[in-house]
Structure 1
């Protein structure tokens, strides 16, 4: 009799486990696999914004010059930051052949891309006329000395094909072009 009870108990346990899985319990998913220690994390849909004061303090700590004013129409506080606008002026030197000009132009574009990637330059681009000023780069750095150094590291400037003229320029922080 003992020999019959043990196999019967094993079969009974197997059948009862199958039924429990088919009925599902609170710890299983649609596929019948057990789900353990599920953690639901809410991610905010809107990024957390810093206050004008926090942004100003962070910029000041990095050496940037700023000021704020209140827009009369919206009553919003606008934070202004000093940037540096570098005008790239054509020089009298045009001695390079076409091959050398293409090589320098490629290096010039790589330099501008690198400045953007590193966060030093926000906007760069050529002018659409044949004037003495061929383009502009707006440097997002705290000092004129840094902007000048970065602009002068441009291969076109080093080769004497472009000259640099830099001016401090103020713009509202976070306001984009339209």
Structure 2
């Protein structure tokens, strides 16, 4: 048991000294271009999409709204405002998908989601939350655009 505490203590000290050090790979120009703070992080907005209050009764209207939803996603990605978008698997909540917006405020994200036809029609509803994550998140989009074979 004593050796466990010694190992724990030494591990903790090692972590603390690593956490307080500087990153030898730090690239100030890259960090600045991404808007990173000293921790390599920045503010975003997380959107959780859930089933809306409007029951889909007309298949043509639903199809049109969700075609518009996908077009809106593509537009927001092209504008550099939407970094992550995707559906959630089956769950006990009414959650349907997520977005991560490259905007600093919930109000800014609210303006962006107001252009979504599926949200406008009430087929989807959205909850918005401030989120603090890696400033490098936008960099994944270049790779993501090179690995899809078919457009959903």
TM-score between the two structures when normalised by the length of structure 2: 0.65
Number of equivalenced pairs: 113
**Deviations, residues 106-147 of structure 1 (Å, cap 9, x unaligned):** 000000111111100001011111530101110001322111
Unaligned runs of 5+ in 2: 1-25, 142-152
Correspondent of 2:121 among 148, 159, 169:
159
Per the TM alignment, residue 99 of structure 1 is displaced from its structure 2 partner at its CA by 1.2
CA contact (8 A) 2:105 2:130 kept: no
Q: Does 1:67 align with 2:28?
A: no
- Structure with the larger RCO, 1 or 2 (CA within 8 Å, 6+ apart): 2
CA contact (8 A) 1:152 1:164 kept: no
Distance 1:123 1:152 in 2: 17
Distance 1:165 1:137 in 2: 10
Please name the residue that 2:58 is paired with.
Answer: 97
CA contact (8 A) 2:51 2:123 kept: yes
Structure 1 ranges of 4+ moved more than 2 A: 51-60, 66-69
TM-score between the two structures when normalised by the length of structure 1: 0.56
Q: RMSD of aligned C-alpha atoms?
A: 2.3
Higher share in helix: 2
Distance 1:140 1:126 in 2: 18
